[in-house]
């Protein structure tokens, strides 16, 4: 049966002869006999292409997705429209089947695209340098914290994490920093849903402050005051952004003195994909560039003076610096950064701002409906971008399960990570949820709320 | 050289293509976004001090020009679908198109990671079955498919070591590594807080004698790549594992080169305790110009309690996520890993089956040995024995100071991607060639013939080789200057102005 090998039996014989052995078996003689597998692998024989396709279609069909149901789920992964031109261009196998661009002369396509991506991320975040990509927002956040320990002179005290940080990101940060000396300390949010500035004021020495904006509960942070406080305290400010679309309408974190801006850029043309592959972005200040993790593409000239692009500042990286590298990252998420570049090129400056405005308005519409509702309440009063925490007054997990039976993904129940918010759900409104859908959501939420 | 001359050199089907920012025309839109319905205006909804005042410096380009831009850029890339891509230890095998189709099914792509379990039964089933298949291939007891790349898998493995010894109340702080190890190994060990001790190898192999002096109660274990980066099977691995276990340590195997072993020998049977594999190498998922990959980690039973959260488990007739695992190292990624890459690898495994996977490894080793046999009289090889999936040569005997870098660049002119160069570090000017099983004999012969021609050119017209490549969109690039004066974004080199 046709596998993906082109060899004929005759060719195999001739090749063995050229090598000077009599069988394929002979090629494996360096593996001691007692280590050989003496049986077949316990798995099915290969299936013909149509059968494999049918089996994968069955598995895909056993999922219920935003395509089949009305979805208001966000919490770090958002349901946005992906222009067809994005999908079409991503089918170009010159991009998909290339390796990391180690040979720049044969990889200018990937390299120029990454350079453009880095430029777009700096523009969005208001920062000076951005890397070629990280795995996802969670890993990017963890790498940001590790970088903060490198850029802070004589770091001491705890790593301050806002309570409004995505709970998964917090877990990833904990995993990555379990073995370094710094403690993690939570700075609480206030009744409005924003970082408690009075609590922050009381902190003395710390390595850095990690604050998410908009935060996990959807609330916008008082970035000007947070930035000013960090500056006053000499604290490295790390701003995490889970909904990158918000950057089109919000003054960028770079304007508030962020040392590092990291987060998730899934909203730029990447489908929810059960959470991966997504796109971690990572931006910082030029003065810290040699302390950054990840690949960087830089502009240069060839020997004839023509502009070209190369991987650069590799002395930070594992293949040169080994145990002293700024990160162990090697393969990153290049194709996802290409996806974002294509998406951002298509929407452009005006399109992206308009889309962000549509999201803001839809969320505002939802907010007004909840404020007018007799049964539903907003948990927090702070302004939001496209997501908010809604109090149902009843077990939110059960309520969501009930609505799921009716074919609706109403949002993300918060009980699992925040037991004190067991009657709350996180609801996102995007350009995919019109007023009519929002009306339906509110109606159904009211029916299950108490 | 004049612009005209450069142009002629590049041929008529090659295009100039500026940066997307340089194509920007104010007012153009590549995707028409509907105007907000209510036209309330952001400053009416959110505090004015938070509304963006800084200009958003994104390009303004119409759809057709965006499509042309990326189509043209793509023509400047070499790829597996173009031709032979023998990057050593990268396993650049053909990426079956069936995989791309299955991963594009909306039932996978549109699935939100916060969906309730009964909405994601198909994905959870695939998750469970893929981990089980990988466990069988590796001869291990349990697998997590959450790591997003090989190095991420290594980090996961090192954190598992940590958790295991912490749990046992042992302070073991050292990781041993052979001098042939990939750079991610020491970087991953260091990231998990270990001190790295490099161990010398002999004739390309690690021997029990080499590690014995290092083994004591401070050693957490050894990271070993097998087959190693010289393309050799570590024949002493079982004895080494025994010694490490006797000293109370664990054996980690970097499975980047698993493509030589499927259905032939299993790391689990060699005494390996933890290993990562790379779905974007061995299991045919495309590399994407630098990811996304996937780096599953396989473990022996004793390490299963520490695997990252959550786990997909089968229960009754369905599947669910288990987060209630107190000894887990915790969360490795924002969600569960690169699910769409899993779909591609799972598709490949179903298509290949037990015999197909074994045949893949056999033919990968056949192809590598064929290249080795045909080149060994012309390019210096470091070790006399036959190789596994890749063969490593040196530029040591090259005339006229022609180096590995020159050979690599000249190969591009002949229509081939260069091999991995200058790695492993223990070989002078290493050329590490991994053909994989998906290349035909005819293609290998063309490649071999190109390398033989380059050897001749090094003798007769060395300048031609040293000036290569000559047929690419750009000539050899100044990498030193790029690092000395970094320009990392458009209009960059200086901070972007408000």
> Does A59 map to a domain?
no
pTM over cut 0.80:
yes
- B179 within 8 A of B223, measured Cβ to Cβ: no
H helices present in B118-246, as ranges: 121-138, 150-167, 184-191, 208-211, 237-246
Last residue of a domain, one of A342, A369, A390: A342
pLDDT at residue A318, rounded to an integer: 87
Distances (CA, A) of B478 to A112, A312, B434, B483, B484: 15, 10, 27, 9, 10
Which residues of A fall within a CB distance of 8 Å from B19? 112, 115-116, 119
Identify any residues that bridge with A237 across adjacent strands, giving them in sequence order. A209
> Does A299 map to a domain?
yes
Residues A292 and A394 in one domain: no
Could A345 and B59 be called an inter-chain contact, meaning their C-beta atoms sit closer than 8 Å? yes
Average pLDDT on A223-243 reads: 97
Which residues of B fall within a CB distance of 8 Å from A295? 290
> Does A38 map to a domain?
no
Which residues of B fall within a CB distance of 8 Å from A288? none
Give me the residue from A107, A310, A330 closest to B150, CB to CB: A330
Could A431 and B6 be called an inter-chain contact, meaning their C-beta atoms sit closer than 8 Å? no
- B108 within 8 A of B343, measured Cβ to Cβ: yes
Determine the Cα–Cα distance for residues B181 and B187; give it in Å rounded to an integer: 11
> A382: distance to nearest CA of chain B, Å?
9
Residues A288 and A361 in one domain: no
- The 3-state DSSP class for residue B142 equals strand
Residues A324 and A257 in one domain: yes
- The 3-state DSSP class for residue A188 equals coil
pLDDT at residue B497, rounded to an integer: 34
> Does A56 map to a domain?
no
Report the interhelical angle of A334-372 vs A108-125 (nearest 10°).
Answer: 30
- The 3-state DSSP class for residue B97 equals helix
pLDDT at residue B498, rounded to an integer: 31
Last residue of a domain, one of A321, A342, A363: A342
> Does A23 map to a domain?
no
Residues A406 and A261 in one domain: no
For residue A154, what pLDDT band results from cuts at 50, 70 and 90? confident
Determine the Cα–Cα distance for residues B259 and A2; give it in Å rounded to an integer: 19
**A382: containing domain:** 70-82+348-448
pLDDT at residue A362, rounded to an integer: 97
Residues A236 and A362 in one domain: no
Determine the Cα–Cα distance for residues B114 and A76; give it in Å rounded to an integer: 10
Q: Tokens representing B176?
A: 């041993």
Residues A78 and A112 in one domain: no
Could B78 and A41 be called an inter-chain contact, meaning their C-beta atoms sit closer than 8 Å? no
Determine the Cα–Cα distance for residues B255 and B151; give it in Å rounded to an integer: 11
Task: Quick: pLDDT tens for A365-408.
Answer: 999 999 999 999 999 999 999 999 999 999 999 999 999 999 99
Give me the residue from B119, B290, B346 closest to A63, CB to CB: B119
Mutate to test the interface with A, among B108, B289, B317, B332 (most CBs of A within 10 A): B289
Structural domains counted in chain A: 2
Determine the Cα–Cα distance for residues A112 and A114; give it in Å rounded to an integer: 5
CATH number at residue A392: 3.90.1150.10
Q: Is the pLDDT of residue A294 over 50?
A: yes
Residues A362 and A234 in one domain: no
If one counts every other C-beta atom within 10 angstroms of the C-beta of residue B198, the result is 15
Residues A315 and A394 in one domain: no
Residues A412 and A354 in one domain: yes
Could A43 and B349 be called an inter-chain contact, meaning their C-beta atoms sit closer than 8 Å? yes
For residue A319, what pLDDT band results from cuts at 50, 70 and 90? confident
pLDDT at residue B495, rounded to an integer: 38
Q: Is the pLDDT of residue A259 over 50?
A: yes
Residues A315 and A407 in one domain: no
Mutate to test the interface with A, among B477, B478, B490 (most CBs of A within 10 A): B477
Residues A299 and A166 in one domain: yes
Report the interhelical angle of A396-405 vs A435-448 (nearest 10°).
Answer: 120
> Does A388 map to a domain?
yes
> A374: distance to nearest CA of chain B, Å?
22
pLDDT at residue A2, rounded to an integer: 56
If one counts every other C-beta atom within 10 angstroms of the C-beta of residue B18, the result is 12
> A30: distance to nearest CA of chain B, Å?
6
Q: Are strands B380-381 and B391-394 parallel, antiparallel or unpaired?
A: antiparallel
Give me the residue from B1, B66, B292 closest to A277, CB to CB: B292
> Does A13 map to a domain?
no
> Does A431 map to a domain?
yes
pLDDT at residue B386, rounded to an integer: 86
Which residues of A fall within a CB distance of 8 Å from B71? 89, 92
What domains can you pick out in chain B, each with its CATH number? 3-74 (no CATH), 95-472 (3.40.640.10)
For residue A67, what pLDDT band results from cuts at 50, 70 and 90? confident
Residues 6-65 of B with CB under 8 A from A: 6, 17, 19-21, 24, 27-38, 40, 42, 45-47, 49-54, 56-61, 63
- A169 within 8 A of A240, measured Cβ to Cβ: yes
The b-or-e profile of A411-435 (16+ CB within 10 A means b, else e) is bbbbbeeeeebbbbbbbbbbbbbee
Last residue of a domain, one of A342, A358, A384: A342
Task: Quick: pLDDT tens for A55-65.
Answer: 999 999 999 99
Residues A270 and A415 in one domain: no
- B423 within 8 A of B229, measured Cβ to Cβ: yes
The per-residue pLDDT string of chain B (498 residues; one tens digit each, 9 = 90 and over) reads 344 444 444 454 567 899 999 999 999 999 999 888 888 889 999 999 999 999 999 999 999 999 999 999 999 999 999 999 999 999 999 999 999 999 999 999 999 999 999 999 999 999 999 999 999 999 999 999 999 999 999 999 999 999 999 999 999 999 999 999 999 999 999 999 999 999 999 889 999 999 999 999 999 999 999 999 999 999 999 999 999 999 999 999 999 999 999 999 999 999 999 999 999 999 999 999 999 999 999 999 999 999 999 999 999 999 999 999 999 999 999 999 999 999 999 999 999 999 999 999 999 999 999 999 999 999 999 887 789 999 999 999 899 999 999 999 999 999 999 999 999 988 999 999 999 999 999 999 999 999 999 999 999 999 999 999 999 999 999 999 999 999 999 987 543 333
The answer to whether ipTM exceeds 0.90 is: yes
Tell me which residue has tokens 């799972």.
B346
- The 3-state DSSP class for residue B349 equals helix
CATH number at residue A186: 3.40.640.10
Looking at the complex, does the CB of residue B122 fall below 8 Å from at least one CB of chain A? Answer: yes
Q: Which of A227-231, A319-323, B349-353 has the lowest mean pLDDT?
A: A319-323
């Amino acid at each position: 049966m046709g596998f993906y090998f082109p060899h004929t039996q005759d060719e195999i014989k001739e090749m063995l002869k050229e090598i000077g052995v009599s069988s394929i078996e002979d090629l494996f003689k360096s593996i001691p006999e007692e280590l050989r597998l003496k049986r077949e692998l316990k798995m099915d024989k290969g299936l013909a292409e149509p059968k494999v396709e049918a089996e994968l279609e069955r598995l895909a069909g056993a999922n219920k997705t935003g395509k089949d149901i009305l979805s208001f789920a966000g919490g770090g992964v958002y349901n946005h429209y992906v222009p067809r031109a994005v999908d079409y261009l991503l089918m170009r196998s010159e991009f998909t089947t290339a390796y990391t661009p180690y040979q720049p002369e044969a990889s200018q396509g990937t390299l120029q695209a990454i350079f453009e991506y880095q430029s777009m991320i700096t523009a969005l975040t208001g920062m000076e340098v951005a890397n070629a990509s990280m795995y996802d927002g969670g890993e990017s956040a963890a790498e940001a914290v590790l970088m903060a320990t490198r850029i802070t002179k004589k770091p001491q005290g705890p790593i301050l994490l806002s309570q409004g940080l995505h709970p998964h990101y917090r877990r990833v940060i904990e995993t990555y920093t379990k073995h370094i000396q710094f403690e993690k300390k939570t700075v609480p949010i206030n009744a409005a849903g924003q970082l408690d500035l009075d609590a922050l004021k009381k902190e003395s020495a710390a390595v850095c402050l990690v604050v998410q904006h908009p935060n996990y509960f959807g609330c916008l942070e008082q970035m000007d005051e947070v930035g000013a406080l960090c500056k006053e305290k000499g604290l490295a400010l790390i701003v995490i952004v889970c909904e990158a679309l918000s950057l089109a309408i919000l003054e960028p974190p770079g304007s508030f003195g962020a040392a590092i801006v990291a987060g998730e850029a899934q909203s730029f043309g990447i489908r929810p994909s059960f959470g991966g592959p997504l796109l971690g972005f990572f931006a910082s200040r030029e003065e810290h560039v040699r302390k950054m993790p990840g690949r960087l593409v830089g502009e240069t000239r060839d020997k004839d003076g023509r502009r070209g692009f190369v991987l650069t500042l590799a002395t930070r990286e594992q293949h040169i610096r080994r145990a002293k590298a700024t990160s162990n990252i090697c393969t990153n998420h290049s194709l996802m950064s290409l996806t974002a570049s294509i998406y951002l090129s298509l929407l452009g400056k005006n399109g992206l701002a308009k889309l962000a405005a549509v999201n803001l308005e839809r969320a505002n519409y939802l907010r007004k409906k909840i404020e007018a509702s007799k049964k539903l309440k907003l948990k927090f009063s702070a302004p939001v971008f496209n997501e908010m925490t809604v109090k149902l007054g009843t077990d939110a997990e059960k309520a969501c399960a009930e609505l799921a039976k009716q074919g609706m993904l109403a949002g993300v129940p918060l009980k699992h990570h925040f037991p004190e918010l067991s009657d709350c759900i996180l609801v996102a409104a995007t350009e995919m949820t019109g007023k009519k859908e929002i009306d339906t959501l509110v109606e159904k939420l009211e029916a299950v709320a108490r | 050289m004049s612009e005209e001359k450069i142009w002629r050199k590049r041929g008529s089907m090659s295009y100039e293509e500026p940066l997307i920012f340089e194509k920007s025309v104010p007012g153009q839109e590549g995707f028409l976004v509907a105007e907000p319905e209510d036209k309330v205006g952001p400053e009416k909804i959110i505090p004015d001090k938070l509304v963006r005042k800084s200009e958003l410096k994104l390009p303004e380009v119409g759809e057709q020009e965006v499509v042309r831009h990326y189509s043209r850029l793509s023509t400047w890339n070499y790829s597996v679908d173009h031709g032979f891509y023998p990057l050593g230890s990268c396993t650049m095998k053909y990426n079956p198109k069936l995989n791309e189709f299955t991963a594009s099914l909306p039932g996978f792509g549109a699935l939100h990671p916060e969906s309730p379990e009964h909405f994601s039964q198909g994905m959870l089933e695939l998750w469970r079955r893929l981990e089980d298949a990988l466990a069988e291939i590796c001869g291990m007891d349990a697998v997590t498919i959450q790591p997003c790349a090989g190095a991420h898998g290594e980090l996961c493995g090192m954190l598992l070591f940590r958790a295991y010894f912490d749990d046992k109340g042992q302070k073991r702080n050292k990781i041993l590594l052979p001098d042939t190890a990939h750079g991610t190994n020491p970087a991953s060990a260091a990231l998990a807080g270990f001190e790295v001790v490099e161990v010398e190898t002999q004739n390309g192999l690690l021997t029990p004698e080499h590690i014995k002096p290092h083994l004591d109660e401070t050693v957490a274990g050894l990271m070993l790549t097998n087959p190693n980066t010289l393309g050799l099977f570590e024949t002493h691995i079982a004895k080494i594992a025994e010694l490490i276990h006797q000293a109370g340590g664990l054996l980690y195997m970097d499975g980047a080169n698993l493509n030589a072993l499927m259905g032939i020998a299993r790391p689990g049977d060699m005494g390996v305790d933890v290993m990562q594999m790379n779905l974007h190498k061995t299991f045919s998922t495309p590399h994407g110009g630098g990811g996304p990959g996937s780096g599953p980690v396989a473990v022996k039973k004793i390490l299963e309690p520490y695997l990252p959260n959550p786990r997909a488990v089968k229960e009754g007739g369905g599947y669910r996520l288990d987060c209630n695992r107190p000894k887990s190292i915790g969360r490795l990624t924002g969600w569960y890993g690169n699910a769409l890459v899993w779909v591609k690898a799972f598709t490949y495994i179903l298509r290949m089956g037990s015999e197909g996977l074994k045949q893949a490894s056999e033919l990968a080793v056949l192809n590598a040995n064929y290249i080795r046999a045909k080149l060994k009289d012309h390019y210096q090889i470091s070790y006399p024995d036959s190789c596994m999936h890749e063969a490593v040569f040196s530029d040591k005997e090259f005339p006229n100071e022609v180096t590995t870098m020159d050979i690599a660049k000249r190969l591009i002119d002949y229509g081939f991607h260069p091999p991995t160069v200058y790695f492993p570090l223990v070989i002078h000017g290493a050329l590490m060639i991994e053909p994989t099983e998906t290349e035909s004999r005819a293609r290998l012969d063309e490649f071999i013939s190109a390398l033989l021609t380059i050897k001749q050119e090094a003798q007769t017209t060395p300048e031609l080789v040293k000036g290569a490549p000559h047929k690419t969109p750009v000539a050899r690039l100044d990498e030193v200057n790029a690092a000395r004066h970094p320009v990392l974004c458009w209009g960059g080199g200086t901070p972007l102005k408000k």
